């Protein structure tokens, strides 16, 4: 793993953020943009921020702390970015677009988003650990 915080790290994290952005928009498109295109763009931006932050924190801590500690800290950061921060961005956008009542109505989604974020992060970490062992053995 590279401990260099130079250009390659930023290029990699930006690429992952773009994938998260486009991935959300494709998923939203397949379900018919049920929250409206402007709100889904805000959600896609928050997904890009989450992906960038998750990868960036992992790379910053890589080699500085033990691997399980790194994964735990990165996981907590990912959940925070994916649930409360993303929801706050969506609430702000919907409040501006439609009104305060509609924006605050999204708060009802917090428990579901938090559970989904935890499940996503745990699965991502488990997949990363499994693939790292496979890739490490094939070298």
Return the domain boundaries, the chain: 7-138
Q: In sequence order, what are the residues at sequence separation of 6 or more whose Cβ sits closer than 8 angstroms to the Cβ of residue 56?
A: 9, 13
State the pLDDT confidence band at 4, using cuts at 50, 70 and 90.
very low
User: What pLDDT does residue 135 have?
Assistant: 80
Q: Is the pLDDT of residue 72 over 70?
A: yes
pTM over 0.85: no
What number is the average pLDDT over the span 62-89? 95
Query: Smallest Cα–Cα separation from 53: which of 100, 83, 14, 91?
Result: 14
| 3 state SS of 64 | coil
Say whether 62 sits in a helix, a strand or coil.
strand
pLDDT(42) > 90: yes
Please report the pLDDT score of residue 57 as a whole number: 93
Q: Which residue has the tokens 């062992």?
A: 133
What pLDDT shows up at residue 2? 43
Under a CB-based contact definition with an 8 Å cutoff, are residues 48 and 21 in contact? yes
Residue 1's pLDDT band (boundaries 50, 70, 90)?
very low
The tokens for 138 are 């094939």
pLDDT bracket for residue 5 (50, 70, 90): very low
- First-to-last CA distance in the chain? 14
CA dist., res. 138 & res. 52, Å (int): 28
Task: Work out the percent of the chain whose per-residue pLDDT is above 90.
Answer: 67
Q: Which residue has the higher pLDDT, 6 or 72?
A: 72
In the predicted structure, residue 132 carries a pLDDT above the cut 70: yes
- Residue 14 structure tokens: 């930006």
Buried b (16+ CB within 10 A) or exposed e, 119-129: ebbeeebeeee
pLDDT band at 97 (very low <50, low <70, confident <90, very high): very high
Tokens 């500085």 locate to 64
């Amino acid at each position: 793993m590279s401990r260099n915080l130079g250009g390659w790290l930023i290029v990699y994290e930006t690429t992952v953020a773009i994938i998260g952005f486009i991935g959300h928009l494709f998923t939203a498109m397949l379900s018919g943009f049920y929250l409206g295109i402007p709100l889904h763009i805000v959600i896609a931006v928050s997904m890009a921020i989450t992906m960038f932050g998750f990868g960036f924190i992992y790379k910053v801590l890589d080699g500085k702390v033990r691997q399980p500690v790194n994964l735990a800290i990165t996981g907590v950061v990912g959940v925070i970015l994916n649930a409360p921060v993303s929801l706050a961005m969506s609430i702000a956008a919907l409040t501006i677009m439609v009104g305060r009542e509609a924006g605050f109505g999204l708060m009802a989604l917090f428990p579901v988003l938090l559970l989904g974020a935890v499940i996503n992060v745990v699965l991502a970490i488990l997949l990363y650990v499994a693939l790292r062992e496979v890739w490490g053995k094939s070298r």
